[in-house]
C-alpha cells in the first residue's frame, strides 16, 4: 500500500509552473500546481493585490500548509477553482473549504478527485482497537479535519465512505514508548475516485462542473495512460486495476 501510493503521489505531481494569468471572465487568476507545502503558501502570500481567484491542482501535501493556504484565501476573500487533480489533502481540506461561507466551488476539466486513508481513519482505527487511556495523545490532525468539515457544512463522517471503498485488509495498533499509538494499515484498494453524485450525496459537497469518475471508461483510460500496472482504483463504485 505504501509503495503504491508513493508512486501515485509522484505520478500526480506533473507540476506545471505556478503563475498569474487572465481568465476568460477577466478575473485575475493565480495558478497553483503541485504539492501543498510552504512553497505554495509562499506564492499565495506574494500574489499581486488584484488577484481574485486561485486555481489549484494538487495531489496533496501537508495538512498544516493546507490550513495556512485556506486561511489566506479567506483573509483575501478569494474564489477557488480546482484544476486537473485534487487528491489527499487537497480533497480533504481545499474542497470543503472552497464551498463554505458563500463561496462557489467550480471544478474545471473534469478533475481527478481522489481520497485515500486520512487522519480520521487512523483515529477511529485506534479507538476501535485500544482500550488503554490515550487522552494524552491528541489526534490533532483528525480533530482539525473534523472541525473544518463541520464548519464547511460537509459530512464529518465521510471517512466511513472512503474506508468502505478502500477495504481495510488489516490494521495493527501498538503503543509506543510514550504510550501513544503507532498504526500500521493495509488496504485492498489504493484510492477512491467518487462521482459527482457521490461527492454531493456522501460528502455534502456543492459545486459546478464534473469529475473524472463521472465517465468510467475515460477515467480508466487516463489512469492506464499515467500509472504503472496493478494499482487498484475504485472509480465511483467500480474497481479498475491499472494496466
- SS3 sequence, 186-243? EECCCEEECCHHHHHHHCCCCCECCCHHHCHHHHHHHHHHHCCCCCEEEECCEEEECC
Q: How many CA atoms lie within 13 A of 104 on its CB side?
A: 6
Q: How far apart are CA 41 and CA 50, in angstroms?
A: 17
In whole angstroms, give the CA distance from residue 233 to residue 106.
24
Q: 28 pLDDT exceeds 60?
A: yes
Kindly report, residue by residue over 161-174, the tens digit of the pLDDT.
999 999 998 888 88
**Which residues lie closer than 8 Å to 21 by C-beta, 6 or more apart?**
29, 31
Hey, what's the cell of 146? 473534523
Residue 146: name the closest of 178, 59, 138 by CA: 138
Confidence at residue 134, expressed as pLDDT on a 0 to 100 scale: 77
Residue 13 has pLDDT above 50, yes or no: no
Mean pLDDT, all residues of the chain: 86
pLDDT at 6: 45
Residue 214's closest CA among 193, 188, 243, 242?
193
In the predicted structure, residue 179 carries a pLDDT above the cut 80? no
Percent of the chain clearing pLDDT 70 (strictly above) = 88
Residue 158: pLDDT above 80? yes
Does residue 110 or residue 23 have the better pLDDT? 110
- The CATH code of domain 2-241 reads 3.90.226
Q: Is the pLDDT of residue 194 over 50?
A: yes
In 3D, which of 132, 105, 121, 115 has the Cα closest to residue 59? 115
> pTM of the prediction?
0.86
Residue 216 pLDDT > 90? yes
Alpha-carbon span 107 to 21, nearest angstrom: 17
pLDDT attached to residue 26? 54
Q: Which residues of 105-117 are buried (b: 16+ CB within 10 A; e: fewer)?
A: bebeebbbbbbbb
Spatial separation of the C-alpha atoms in residues 119 and 148, rounded to whole Å:
13
Amino acid at each position: 500500500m505504501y509503495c503504491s501510493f508513493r508512486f501515485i503521489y509522484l505520478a500526480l505531481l506533473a507540476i506545471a509552473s505556478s503563475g498569474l494569468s487572465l481568465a476568460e471572465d477577466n478575473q485575475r487568476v493565480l495558478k497553483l500546481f503541485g504539492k501543498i507545502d510552504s512553497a505554495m503558501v509562499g506564492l499565495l502570500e506574494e500574489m499581486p493585490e488584484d488577484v481574485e481567484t486561485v486555481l489549484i491542482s494538487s495531489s496533496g501535501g501537508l495538512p498544516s500548509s493546507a490550513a495556512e493556504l485556506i486561511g489566506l484565501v479567506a483573509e483575501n476573500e478569494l474564489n477557488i477553482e480546482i484544476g486537473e487533480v485534487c487528491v489527499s489533502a487537497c480533497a480533504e481540506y481545499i474542497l470543503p473549504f472552497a464551498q463554505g461561507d458563500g463561496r462557489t466551488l467550480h471544478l474545471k476539466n473534469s478533475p481527478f478527485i481522489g481520497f485515500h486513508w486520512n487522519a480520521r481513519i487512523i483515529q477511529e482505527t485506534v479507538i476501535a482497537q485500544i482500550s488503554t487511556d490515550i487522552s494524552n495523545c491528541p489526534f490533532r490532525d483528525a480533530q482539525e479535519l473534523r472541525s473544518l468539515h463541520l464548519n464547511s457544512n460537509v459530512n464529518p463522517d465521510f471517512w466511513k465512505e472512503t474506508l468502505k471503498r478502500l477495504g481495510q485488509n488489516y490494521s495493527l495498533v501498538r503503543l509506543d514508548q510514550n504510550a501513544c499509538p503507532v498504526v500500521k494499515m493495509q488496504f485492498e484498494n489504493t484510492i477512491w475516485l467518487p462521482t459527482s453524485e457521490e461527492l454531493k450525496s456522501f460528502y455534502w459537497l456543492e459545486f459546478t462542473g464534473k469529475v473524472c469518475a463521472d465517465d468510467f471508461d475515460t477515467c480508466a483510460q487516463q489512469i492506464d495512460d499515467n500509472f504503472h500496472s496493478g494499482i487498484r482504483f475504485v472509480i465511483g463504485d467500480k474497481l479498475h486495476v491499472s494496466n
